[in-house]
Amino acid sequence: MANQPVSTLLNRSPQSFALGVVFCFMVAQANHGPVVQAADDAFESDASWQQPNVTTLSQMMRESLSAVGTSATDVEVAAAKVLTALEANDADPLNIFIDTSRAYSPLVEQLVALAADNLQDAGSRVDADNAAHINVNTLPKSLQASVRTWLGRELVRARLYDEALVAFREVDPIDSADPAATLFFRGACYHALLQKKEAIVDLQRLLENEKDCPMRFTRTAQLMVADISPLKEDSLDEISRLMTDVTRRLELGRADENVQDREQKIIDKLSKLIEQIEEQQQQQQQQQQQQQSGQGQGNSQGGQAAPMNESQAAGGSGTGDVDRKRIEERDGWGKLPPAERKEALQQISRDLPTHYREAIEAYFRKLATEGS
């Protein structure tokens, strides 16, 4: 049967032919299935990071505690605890890793306890320039990366982005017990601080491996990338975001030099933007005047009267007096009259969402109040 010609097979009943096609398809799938699966696995492995499974996390705990001098018995107890906790439920791997390690590392316990008491202080004390510095760099690589990620995550949730950035700026995600959390929360931190390039790098790296990410991470990361990608320097969008950042800092009770510098940056950028609007309006006015002047000259030439004799004085009933015009520099921001300056400010925010316009109006009211 295997040697029968194709014509013989085609001459069989439609049912037999259909069964033959299905059989051939099944054989092809059986032969090529491993190849297709291997290709899919190779594609997935192209991601620069992988989320560790429960066995890997248990081994990370074992190696970290051994490196800090924990007894072999306690190491195995801790590793088993991590394994059991992760297998028992869908708990946060980062929380489990930190909660387990703090029982065996005084430094981790100190930092976690401080964070519970004063999160902002804990964040500032991982900075090497702080006189009361808690040197987490002495911890093993995996434990250090996990502690920094955990602290950075808590700081981001509290909108303490500056401290968060210090906590996990230099963390390599592949060393962390939760690489997805490292990339997501650090990307969110960069996004909030308007560090566009760094935010896109972290968030796009997170999206390399969506299958290992919680859905809330991937969806929010996609939104953040789409939100910050069009951001341009000195745009009204950037100015509005700077205003939001200053508002956040003031709500946190901060009025230091850093906040004042950002306020001044907002004023400078707005001044530059308003000057550009004023220049555009002046150019438009000049063009309109030139057009009107050209039209007037054309009309006068078309209906020009005959010239008078040189010896004849021109008649006229006027007294010859003219109004004296007052020429002086107007006060205010810019050189345009108040009405035109108001129109320029309206044009700045004309095409923007309502919350942008409200932010600008509120900011100028604040400046007017402080100036008075």
pLDDT range class, residue 291, cuts 50, 70, 90 = confident
Residue 216 burial by Cβ neighbours in a 10 Å radius (0-12, 13-18, 19+):
exposed
> So what's the pLDDT on residue 109?
97
Residue 68 burial by Cβ neighbours in a 10 Å radius (0-12, 13-18, 19+):
middle
> So what's the pLDDT on residue 171?
96
Q: Report how far residue 224's alpha carbon sits from residue 187's, in angstroms, rounded to the nearest whole number.
A: 9
pLDDT range class, residue 290, cuts 50, 70, 90 = confident
For the chain, domain boundaries: 54-231, 232-290+334-372
Looking at residues 306-323, what average pLDDT do you find? 51
Cβ distance 239 to 269 under 8 Å? yes
pLDDT, one tens digit per residue, over 17-56 is 343 433 343 434 444 444 334 444 444 457 899 999 999 9
Which among 97, 95, 27 has a CA at the least distance from the CA of 63?
97
The amino acid sitting at 129 is D
pLDDT, one tens digit per residue, over 249-258 is 999 999 889 8
End-to-end CA distance of the chain: 102
Helices (H), the chain: 6-10, 14-44, 54-67, 72-88, 93-101, 106-117, 119-124, 141-157, 161-168, 179-192, 196-206, 215-228, 236-251, 257-302, 338-348, 354-371
Between these two residues, 293 and 10, which has the higher pLDDT value?
293
Residue keyed to tokens 């030439």:
301
Reduced to 3 states (helix: H, G, I; strand: E, B; else coil), residue 97 is helix
**pLDDT mean across residues, the chain:** 79
pTM of the model: 0.68
Q: Report how far residue 16's alpha carbon sits from residue 226's, in angstroms, rounded to the nearest whole number.
A: 55
The amino acid sitting at 170 is E
> So what's the pLDDT on residue 333?
45
Q: Comparing 75-79, 264-268, 288-292, which segment has the lowest mean pLDDT?
A: 288-292
Secondary structure (DSSP) of 172-193: -GGGSS-HHHHHHHHHHHHHHT
Residue keyed to tokens 């054989």:
27
Could you tell me what percent of the chain has a pLDDT over 90?
55
Between these two residues, 154 and 293, which has the higher pLDDT value?
154
Residue 79 pLDDT greater than 70, yes or no: yes
pLDDT, one tens digit per residue, over 226-253 is 999 999 999 999 999 999 999 999 999 9
50 DSSP 8-state letter? -
Cβ distance 232 to 238 under 8 Å? yes
310 DSSP 8-state letter? T
